[in-house]
Amino acid sequence: MKKIVIISGASGSLGEGYLKHFSNELNFTSIGLARTETKNKINNVEYIYCDLLDEINVKNKINKINFEQYSEIIFIHPVGKFKFEYKNNLNEIDTQIYNSNVMTFINISNILSPLAERKKITFCCFGSVSDKYDVPYWRSYTQSKKELKRRIQEASENNNNIRGVFINVSTVTTGNENKLRPFANKKYWLKPEKIVKMSLSEIISGKSQFIELDIFEPCPHFQDTYYLDHEAIYSKWEKEMGRQE
């Protein structure tokens, strides 16, 4: 039986990167999820347009897929907003950031998880290599990603038919990131193609029930202490964003 891969953020650079690969995999049916119609459609990809925050809309669209013809389901979820949070706004989790990172996954996983009674399912989501340092200026993003990882890990622990792959990445070259930090040195930013290449084996044929991967572009001058100097981070990002407090 064939396998099916469902990839959210189909119009984004990382989602598109995964779709380009799987569209050439003969044993896979490729589904791309996007909020609005994608301009540059990829051959051999079926596109489903829906708002992942609209639980009813998502359910209606995903339930039209005939999952019975597939032996395995892979859901890759490179979706979620980031926000740089200033010094006067560090106490609460931004609902918009949480919903875009966590609720979008929940609305899909609630549909797919019951199918694990008779099919293999792999959930693949993404966080940041900085999440372990709890940088205060993107607290909502970090806490949302930690919750997302917890849910995937818990699902894989509770059902042998569910695998979890959580990928921590450094700064990725995307349109959104370029807009957020137009004055940053982008020499060591990750290319989406590298993330795809370095994660595919684990996503498709990995044996671990749950695994966490770190993928980054090595920078010869980088030290972990960077994430511990919050004032330096704040100053650096202000310059890269071209903004003043």
CB-based contact 10:16 (threshold 8 Å): yes
pLDDT at 175: 86
pLDDT at 88: 61
Question: In 91-123, which positions are buried (b, 16+ CB within 10 angstroms) versus exposed (e)?
Answer: eebbeebbbbbbbbbbbbbebbbebbeebbbbb
pTM over 0.75: yes
- Structural domains of the chain sorted by starting position, each given as residue range(s) with its CATH number in brackets: 2-241 (3.40.50.720)
pLDDT at 89: 60
% of the chain surpassing 90 pLDDT = 86
d(CA 193, CA 17) in angstroms, rounded, equals 6
d(CA 152, CA 179) in angstroms, rounded, equals 30
Position with higher pLDDT, 152 vs 220: 152
pLDDT at 38: 80
